Chain A
């Protein structure tokens, strides 16, 4: 579905991605983890050509998006929904208008149908009662859920999540995790999630790819990831008190 081939990206003197290659299969939840500044969000932005690689190619299906322009880029981007870190809602529109935006701008649907679709997507994220609220009047977690409703309202093939649970309380984080899994189950969407929250990654992922020093380690299933003996992965797991058995240790039980 999505394939990175030897993608390199530099910002000034710093090489963020160094010949990174990996593939995401259709219908799976692929989670990219790594420490801050390792290029997780940068990878995600390459998938929709918000950033262009200095070398290498990004494939979406059987087309290269990293050199696409104009109509071809629009057609490829139409396959995607994108949940940005802060939700990226337009501040002058209420929740319903924000979710309806891609339908009003890109389709010829009538208002009645748009209203029905918006209500159903807001129901999926548990916010059908917040239709008339403005983005400034709702919490960060609610904004992310509205962003998610907007990302899926056009029924895209692929949904990209940039830190969907960062800054949220554990209960809301779990709700978002369940929503991501539900998106895959209900709509068969391919999901690519960027996070440094390993608890969340282990709950939702089919495969986990870790970015470290500009390179992507070979993607692993959650159980393989937990049992991995690679020092970088072990360090990352232990920093979040996750044992090889897969249970969460408390700070007191860590030797």
Chain B
């Protein structure tokens, strides 16, 4: 991986040419991001070697432990909102006992991984892009390359490992809190007994729902790490460039997770 040279393009002559250039650059950057992901993934067996251990542990801490607060609040309220909205509708048909299934299945399949992904992209992903972008602008990444320290191993791999490990774990945590939030609303506002809520959930939620959700979380973790590191490493033009890298990280991660979330749902639930 070479430090990026500044790029200069001749002015475009019209909207078609501008569109064409945009498409070409997007495809090129996607290719570069995938190559960076593969290069970092190839270094993953060295994650707990002497020279990488400390960085991996620090990233696990930043990604996992430091995100717990915001994830707890979001997960709890997501479960509560789900229970309230579905419960109020189901009450019209005297079916409010089924909120156990509704909340649990939706949390396990979609909302758990997706809400966790959104929070991690906005907090951890943007921080990764800002940190690496600042390092590029301040020539720290160039310094690493001159010291023959591969940025893919030193910067990308620890963040990739942290997100691949922490996203499924945090998703389990989000699922648990979301389901508990639903149970609290069911008990206090919809007159569904706690035992009935969990019986109902156990009866209709399948193991597959959990596994597919966790697989999605793993994929989302790879997406966030790849997009954030790639945007950071591609940052140019000082503070403005770092700001753009941060903004693009959040937007591209959101959209990619949304599209991939649909594709995976389609693949696993035909």
**A residues lining the B interface (CB < 8 Å):** 11-13, 45, 48-52, 74, 77-78, 80, 82, 84-86, 88-91, 101-102, 104-106, 150, 154
Q: Determine which of A84, A88, A89, A104 lies in contact with B51 in the assembled complex, contact meaning CB atoms within 8 Å.
A: A104
Q: For B203, what are the chain A residues with a Cβ–Cβ distance below 8 Å?
A: none
Q: For B140, what are the chain A residues with a Cβ–Cβ distance below 8 Å?
A: 88-91
Let me know if B2 is at the binding interface, CB within 8 A. yes
Q: For A13, what are the chain B residues with a Cβ–Cβ distance below 8 Å?
A: 8
B262 to chain A minimum Cβ distance, whole angstroms, is 37
Q: Determine which of B139, B146, B149 lies in contact with A80 in the assembled complex, contact meaning CB atoms within 8 Å.
A: B146
Q: Is the CB of A102 within 8 A of B147?
A: yes
Q: Is the CB of B148 within 8 A of A51?
A: no
Q: Is the CB of A50 within 8 A of B146?
A: yes
Closest 3 CB pairs of A and B: A12-B8, A88-B143, A82-B146
What 13 new A-B contacts, CB under 8 Å, besides A77-B147, A88-B138, A105-B51? A12-B8, A52-B5, A78-B148, A84-B142, A85-B139, A86-B139, A89-B140, A90-B140, A101-B147, A104-B50, A105-B149, A106-B147, A106-B148
Q: For A50, what are the chain B residues with a Cβ–Cβ distance below 8 Å?
A: 2-3, 142, 145-146
Let me know if B69 is at the binding interface, CB within 8 A. no
Let me know if B215 is at the binding interface, CB within 8 A. no
Q: For A11, what are the chain B residues with a Cβ–Cβ distance below 8 Å?
A: 6, 8
Dominant secondary structure at the B interface? loop
Let me know if B173 is at the binding interface, CB within 8 A. no
Q: Which of A49, A50, A154 has the most CB of B within 10 A?
A: A50
Q: Is the CB of B145 within 8 A of A106?
A: no
Q: Is the CB of B139 within 8 A of A84?
A: yes
Q: Is the CB of A77 within 8 A of B8?
A: no
A113 to chain B minimum Cβ distance, whole angstroms, is 14
- Taken residue by residue from 228 to 239, chain B's Cβ proximity to chain A (1 for < 8 Å, 0 otherwise) reads as 000000000000
Q: A12-B8, A105-B51 are known contacts. Are A77 and B138 too (CB-CB below 8 A)? A: no
Q: Which of B3, B8, B147, B149 has the most CB of A within 10 A?
A: B147
Q: Determine which of A12, A52, A84, A101 lies in contact with B149 in the assembled complex, contact meaning CB atoms within 8 Å.
A: A101
A8 to chain B minimum Cβ distance, whole angstroms, is 14
Q: Is the CB of B146 within 8 A of A51?
A: no
Let me know if B77 is at the binding interface, CB within 8 A. no
Q: Is the CB of B148 within 8 A of A77?
A: yes
Closest to B146 in A: A82
Let me know if B154 is at the binding interface, CB within 8 A. yes
Closest to A52 in B: B5
A119 to chain B minimum Cβ distance, whole angstroms, is 19
A103 to chain B minimum Cβ distance, whole angstroms, is 10
24 A-B contact pairs sorted by A residue (CB < 8 Å)? A11-B6, A48-B145, A50-B3, A50-B146, A74-B148, A77-B147, A80-B146, A82-B143, A84-B143, A85-B139, A86-B139, A88-B140, A88-B143, A90-B135, A91-B140, A101-B147, A102-B148, A104-B50, A105-B51, A105-B147, A105-B149, A106-B148, A150-B147, A154-B147
Closest to A88 in B: B143
Q: Is the CB of B145 within 8 A of A77?
A: yes
B136 to chain A minimum Cβ distance, whole angstroms, is 11
Q: For A80, what are the chain B residues with a Cβ–Cβ distance below 8 Å?
A: 146
Q: For B138, what are the chain A residues with a Cβ–Cβ distance below 8 Å?
A: 86, 88
Q: For A150, what are the chain B residues with a Cβ–Cβ distance below 8 Å?
A: 147
Q: For B145, what are the chain A residues with a Cβ–Cβ distance below 8 Å?
A: 48, 50, 77
Bound form: Cα–Cα A52–B6 in Å: 11
Q: Is the CB of A77 within 8 A of B146?
A: yes
Q: Is the CB of B148 within 8 A of A88?
A: no
Q: For A48, what are the chain B residues with a Cβ–Cβ distance below 8 Å?
A: 145-146
Closest to A45 in B: B142
Q: For B135, what are the chain A residues with a Cβ–Cβ distance below 8 Å?
A: 90
Closest to B10 in A: A12
Closest to A74 in B: B148
Q: For A102, what are the chain B residues with a Cβ–Cβ distance below 8 Å?
A: 147-149
A154 to chain B minimum Cβ distance, whole angstroms, is 8
Bound form: Cα–Cα A91–B146 in Å: 18
Closest to B141 in A: A88
- Taken residue by residue from 132 to 169, chain B's Cβ proximity to chain A (1 for < 8 Å, 0 otherwise) reads as 00010011101101111100001000000000000000
Q: A74-B148, A101-B149, A105-B51 are known contacts. Are A49 and B139 too (CB-CB below 8 A)? A: no
A68 to chain B minimum Cβ distance, whole angstroms, is 11
Bound form: Cα–Cα A51–B142 in Å: 10
A111 to chain B minimum Cβ distance, whole angstroms, is 10
Q: For B142, what are the chain A residues with a Cβ–Cβ distance below 8 Å?
A: 45, 50, 84, 88
B window 44-75: CB within 8 A of A: 50-51
